[in-house]
Structure 1
Amino acid sequence: MTDKYTALVSRGWGRDVAKRLGLPQPVELRRYSSGDPLLPGPALLIGSGPSAGMLEAALSSWGVEVRREGAPNVAAPRAADDGARSPKIGAIVLVLDGIERPEDLSAPLLAAGHALRSLAPSGRVITLSRRASTQDEPALGAARQGVEGALRSLARELRAGATGNGILLAEDVRADAPSVLGSLRFLLSGRSAFVDGQFLTVGTSAGELPADPERPLDGKVAVVTGAARNIGAAIAKTLARDGAKVVAVDVPAAGESLVQVANEVHGTALQLDITRPDAGEQILQHSLSRHGRLDIVVHNAGITRDKLLANMDAAKWDSVIEVNIAAQLRINDSLLASEGFGDGAHIVSVSSTSGIAGNRGQTNYAASKAGVIGMVRSTAARLAARGGTANAVAPGFIETEMTARIPFAMREVARRLNSLQQGGRPQDVAEAIAFLASDGAAGISGNVLRVCGQNWMGQ
């Protein structure tokens, strides 16, 4: 569904009127398009030490001009006869993995603050820091946790479609580990347009960056449930775009739409009710017989049966739990018990911000989506032995057929209740899933990545 308000106030007289009246001014976000540069301008790198050097080398290898803190006037006029001005900076990258006390945050964060006026529309602010631990000395733990509070607050201050996100490193992970660089590239790119105020935790040095960043899933076979429409169809198309052979799964009633999606992505369709006890075996058998392997499973299928708990009956409660979480658990058990779900496999489940913060009239749905989060955290440990990962993506307000049916006033409010002041697109959810399903994210497991524009609900 089109957000006509955002289109109206993004340019021309509509933008001027919104500014004069003090109305929300969302902008059209920079989203991924093949062949586009990684950033709309140079990257300002703030920090020193080995990690800063590693990130500078990576950024340069990606064709990004890197400016270091202390370079004169990042947006000052060039020394050129035509008086052309330097381009706005496309990103500010703060290397904070060496901080030891809260006082150490002052200089780099204030330097970033001074550079914010030079940040391009849909620019990026990214922090690189260490994950806080109960084993840290108190000052060290305070400093590391302080990065998270500062970044999330800064993300709420950004304008013009800019976003702020962070990468957290486990103690023994270097800044040049594949999943660190993979996370950096994802967060810098248009693929992360609706990811804001979030952190990705890199727990190991596992993984491998793709030879072709445009096709990070080449040679992989991926199953997507609920693939016939909306977010599921976007996931199937995005995984196929990135090189995967896709098995599109949905209920028989959605067969016509499912076949259309499968044909569009040059994959195969499997009409299957995922609540069947043998759904996992059927998915595995189809993937192995048609494609010879199975590398990625995306649990997207889900339903809502909203009702206040006082008016909830067993049928509404049980059906949501069965589709949204119980079926996933059974399918995962089947896959993990089989040698056909190979080493390095990735499971990505679709949760929801309702499962994090709750939502009126959705006790059954929130319970199921919170259950998804608990499931992937526990499954991550089971997959670690075979080099696999399990993660979740938690969408906020996404423009779909379902949200289009929300009454107009409620829909407009829901769209604006995030830092980017607009709803996301199915593509935004799909981009996050495609990243987590790649070998460039093999060091990331048990994470829950919110794709919500930094929704005001929850953390």
Structure 2
Amino acid sequence: MTDRYASFVRSGAGRALVKRLGLPDPPRLRRHTPGDPLLTRPALLGSATGGRLAGQVGTILTAAGVELRDPATAETQERFGALVYDATGVTDSTGLRQLYDFFHPRARAVLPGGRVIVLGTPPDECGTPREATAQRALEGLTRSIGKEFGRGVTAQLVHLTAHGDAGTATGLEATLRFLLSGRSAYVSGQVVRVGAGAAEPPADWDRPLDGQVVLVTGAARGIGAALARVLARDGAQVVALDIPAAGDELAAVANEIGGTAVQLDLTAPDAPTRLADHLASRHGRVDVVVHNAGITRDRTLGRMDADRWDSVIDVNLSSQERINDVLLERGLIPAGGRIVSVSSIAGIAGNRGQTNYATSKAGVIGLVQSLAPALRERGISVNAVAPGFIETRLTARIPLVVREAGRRMNSMAQGGLPVDVAETIGWLAWPASGAVSGNVVRVCGQSLLGA
């Protein structure tokens, strides 16, 4: 679907009008193309006094081909592809001044499409209430930077556990590689927690899913089809699943990526068993399960019939629970496996006329947060992504005024693309991301709606 306003803004006449009237100015987003470097310009790496991560981060970024600059020696007028700051040494509120001293003189030094990453300690792991207070304050900083810097610049806070293992270091590298790259173009203002867990670095970071068997539900069109393409591009053997009515579209996607197609109604009583039997006989396992299938049946709650309520809860939430139960019970998701579920910002903020949908998507967040501690013992990670306004056939049917509001009410002043959701799920599906678990990552351009 074409965003005609964004196209007009990028014309000569449009740019002049936007500047004169102060209208929303959607930037060109830096998206990923295979073979792209993480950054085309140097990154400035700073640290608070006593920070525990700057050395490790410097080693990771240098190995990834990123040219680093030191704040003490960087030229005053130099511009950067990213600003990265280790704030783990901030142990009380007075120490927050160090972040002002680092970011204030460089607020315009980040190039368009640049990245800002602040690294901190999870507040619940801090040694004192003052340290926890200061570390929690970092969320306000990064979310504000995401709204202030503009020009397609994104800003994130990464919490790294102080009780890590080898998987934690790999998880940090995977997270930095995702957040610095064009894969994270429509992700901003997020808090990502990297804990301890099973995580394996790939032989080739351009194909981080080599040898992995990945199930994608709802794969025939939209976000699901984009998912299948991105995961296959990254080396996965994709099992693409959708309902029989979408069989032709599903087959086309599967043939395009060299994957296999499974026609199955996930609400059928025997669906979990049939799916498990298929995966066991064809592959012997499934390394990644991506729960993308979902429906909407919109009405205000007072006008909603029971069938609309039941069908949305069943497809969007209950079917995920049933599939997880069978696959885990039969041991088909091995140690090092990943589960990724698609939620929505409607599940975070609610949405008028979508009580059934918002309930189901909030339930997905609950599923992830409740499963994460239990599955950690089995070496399996589970996360969710929460898309905002994404340009699909469904959003094309939204009335014009509502559609334009959805596009502009975020820090990017535009809707996201299905590939933006797919890239984020792809990162969570990497074996290298196994120490990233229990997260809900919004893919919404830092929407003004919700938390």
What is the letter of the counterpart of residue 143 of structure 2? R
Whole-Å separation in 1 of the counterparts to 2:11 and 2:371: 46
Q: Cα offset for 1:278?
A: 2.2
1:137 corresponds to: 128
2:60 corresponds to: 58
Deviations 1:211-267 (A, max 9, x none): 211110000001100000000000111110110000110000000000000101101
Q: Cα offset for 1:136?
A: 4.0
1:264-343 map, 5 Å: 264-343=256-335
What is the letter of the counterpart of residue 25 of structure 1? D
TM-score w.r.t. length of structure 1: 0.95
1:83 corresponds to: none
Question: 3-state SS of the aligned residue for 1:249?
Answer: strand
1:44-55 map, 5 Å: 44-47=44-47, 49-55=51-57
**Which runs of 5 or more residues in structure 1 are unaligned?**
77-87
What is the letter of the counterpart of residue 32 of structure 1? H
Once the two structures are overlaid, the 10-residue window that deviates more, 261-270 or 207-216, is 207-216
What is the letter of the counterpart of residue 448 of structure 2? W
Once the two structures are overlaid, the 10-residue window that deviates more, 262-271 or 150-159, is 150-159
2:201 corresponds to: 209
Q: Cα offset for 1:21?
A: 1.8
- Whether the 8 Å CA contact 2:52–2:88 is kept in 1: the answer is no
What is the letter of the counterpart of residue 9 of structure 1? V
Q: Cα offset for 1:135?
A: 6.4
Q: Cα offset for 1:110?
A: 2.9
1:394 corresponds to which of 374, 386, 392: 386
2:409 corresponds to which of 417, 440, 449: 417
Whole-Å separation in 2 of the counterparts to 1:194 and 1:350: 16
Whole-Å separation in 2 of the counterparts to 1:8 and 1:63: 37
What is the letter of the counterpart of residue 418 of structure 1? N
Q: CA RMSD in A?
A: 1.5
Whole-Å separation in 1 of the counterparts to 2:38 and 2:125: 37
CA distance change for structure 1 residues 214 and 11 in 2, over 3 Å: closer, same or farther?
farther
Given the alignment of the two structures, is residue 157 of structure 1 paired with residue 159 of structure 2, yes or no?
Answer: no
What is the letter of the counterpart of residue 33 of structure 1? T
Whole-Å separation in 2 of the counterparts to 1:112 and 1:458: 26
Whole-Å separation in 2 of the counterparts to 1:366 and 1:340: 30
Given the alignment of the two structures, is residue 126 of structure 1 paired with residue 117 of structure 2, yes or no?
Answer: yes
1:363 corresponds to which of 344, 352, 355: 355
Q: Cα offset for 1:3?
A: 1.4
Deviations 1:31-70 (A, max 9, x none): 0001122113110011165521111111111111100112
Whole-Å separation in 1 of the counterparts to 2:125 and 2:434: 25
What is the letter of the counterpart of residue 61 of structure 1? A
1:249 corresponds to which of 234, 241, 249: 241
Whole-Å separation in 1 of the counterparts to 2:213 and 2:165: 30
What is the letter of the counterpart of residue 142 of structure 2? L
Question: 3-state SS of the aligned residue for 1:420?
Answer: coil
TM-score w.r.t. length of structure 2: 0.96
2:35 corresponds to: 35
CA distance change for structure 1 residues 280 and 173 in 2, over 3 Å: closer, same or farther?
same
1:345 corresponds to: 337
Given the alignment of the two structures, is residue 7 of structure 1 paired with residue 7 of structure 2, yes or no?
Answer: yes
1:254-265 map, 5 Å: 254-265=246-257
Question: 3-state SS of the aligned residue for 1:133?
Answer: helix
Deviations 1:276-329 (A, max 9, x none): 222222222222322333111100000111111111110111111011101111
Question: 3-state SS of the aligned residue for 2:337?
Answer: strand
Deviations 1:96-135 (A, max 9, x none): 1121111111123332121121111010000100010176
1:84 corresponds to: none
Q: Cα offset for 1:458?
A: 1.2
Given the alignment of the two structures, is residue 218 of structure 1 paired with residue 210 of structure 2, yes or no?
Answer: yes
1:433 corresponds to: 425
- Whether the 8 Å CA contact 1:40–1:120 is kept in 2: the answer is no
Question: 3-state SS of the aligned residue for 2:334?
Answer: strand
2:160 corresponds to: 169
- Whether the 8 Å CA contact 2:52–2:86 is kept in 1: the answer is no
2:179 corresponds to which of 173, 183, 187: 187
**Which runs of 5 or more residues in structure 2 are unaligned?**
none
Whole-Å separation in 2 of the counterparts to 1:90 and 1:418: 22
What is the letter of the counterpart of residue 59 of structure 1? L
Whole-Å separation in 1 of the counterparts to 2:299 and 2:133: 42
Matched residue pairs, number?
Answer: 448
1:85-100 map, 5 Å: 88-100=79-91
Whole-Å separation in 2 of the counterparts to 1:12 and 1:197: 31
Q: Cα offset for 1:184?
A: 0.8
Deviations 1:353-401 (A, max 9, x none): 0000101111111100000000111122232122111110000000000
Whole-Å separation in 2 of the counterparts to 1:36 and 1:449: 23
Whole-Å separation in 2 of the counterparts to 1:74 and 1:442: 39
Whole-Å separation in 2 of the counterparts to 1:260 and 1:380: 35
- Whether the 8 Å CA contact 1:389–1:445 is kept in 2: the answer is yes
Whole-Å separation in 1 of the counterparts to 2:72 and 2:15: 35
Whole-Å separation in 2 of the counterparts to 1:458 and 1:26: 21
What is the letter of the counterpart of residue 56 of structure 2? M
Question: 3-state SS of the aligned residue for 2:325?
Answer: helix
- Whether the 8 Å CA contact 2:198–2:380 is kept in 1: the answer is no
Q: Cα offset for 1:93?
A: 0.2
What is the letter of the counterpart of residue 71 of structure 1? T
Once the two structures are overlaid, the 10-residue window that deviates more, 61-70 or 243-252, is 61-70
- Whether the 8 Å CA contact 2:44–2:71 is kept in 1: the answer is yes
Whole-Å separation in 2 of the counterparts to 1:402 and 1:438: 29
